[in-house]
Amino acid sequence: MDGTIYLGRRLFPESRPFLASLASFGIGHSFMTNNCSRSRHEYVRRLRSMGIDADVASIQTSAQATAYHIQSCLPHVERLFVLGTAGLDDDLQHAGFKIVAHDPEAVVVGFDMNLTYDDLSRTAYWISRGLPYIATHPDRVCPTDQPVVLPDCGAICALLETATGRRPDAIPGKPNPAMLQAVCAEHGVAAKEVMMVGDRLYTDIRMGRDSGAIAVLTLTGEAKKADVDSCPAETKPDLVVEHLGELQQILERAYRGS
């Protein structure tokens, strides 16, 4: 979403017409984001405040991917120590986990713009104890329309690696293909019938390519044209567009047979 549908608090002018065109052609869509600092309910409210109709079922964040990974690979784990926001806590609790400060069975690190030194210190302690350690997503920075750099989950994990000597045992969010596969299963479609549209080469496009979907890069977020020219084959998009309006025009020509 961020960098593709909107940037920070600014909705791209092409977004609503693009979504309307999908509906006119009978093409379904899901909103997918690695940014789990908001819960799915918070994302619904955010999108609706921008004039975009959405419901909880249409939102997939790295929190759901993380919950699915723990339930599948660590079925005994119920108690989580979480470095993240209240929104991440909320989604993990909705998935059946208990968020605890003491005696956790696993550590989850997400994106938290309000983290403190105490938060980092306690997280590093539990990681150093050898508990299963899951990072929600690998993004190094979060897109923004403000004159700042927002260190994201990947940057936080780099700090924790320096302190503990450990990298995450698993990173279920994009580019992990399981995140897109879950959406495909929910809608009963094959990956080859899906177009993955995003603004990041190493998450959105890599996941689309690895999943067998059509990978479309929009140049409204992190990646620029020069990045595409120099990126490795596994992150080369199938299509590059300046914005969603250009993709809308391509789809309209295809559906009209022109």
- pLDDT value at residue 184: 87
* Residue-range domain boundaries for the chain: 6-31+175-256, 63-164
- pLDDT value at residue 2: 87
Domain boundaries 6-31+175-256, CATH class: alpha beta
Give the span between the Cα atoms of 152 and 87, in whole angstroms: 15
Residues 6+ apart with CB under 8 A from 97: 67, 70, 77, 78, 79, 80
Q: Which residues pair with 151 in a beta bridge?
A: 141
Residues 6+ apart with CB under 8 A from 245: 13, 14, 17, 18
Place of tokens 């819960």: 39
- pLDDT value at residue 258: 58
Blockwise average pLDDT, block size 10, the chain, 258 residues: 90 96 93 93 95 92 92 96 97 96 97 95 98 95 86 97 98 92 86 95 95 96 93 95 97 84
| Residue 125 burial by Cβ neighbours in a 10 Å radius (0-12, 13-18, 19+) | middle
The reply to whether domains 6-31+175-256 and 63-164 share a CATH topology is: yes
pTM comes to: 0.85
Residues 6+ apart with CB under 8 A from 103: 79
Instruction: Choose the CATH number for 63-164 among 1.10.1660.10, 3.40.50.720, 3.40.50.1000, 3.20.20.190.
Output: 3.40.50.1000
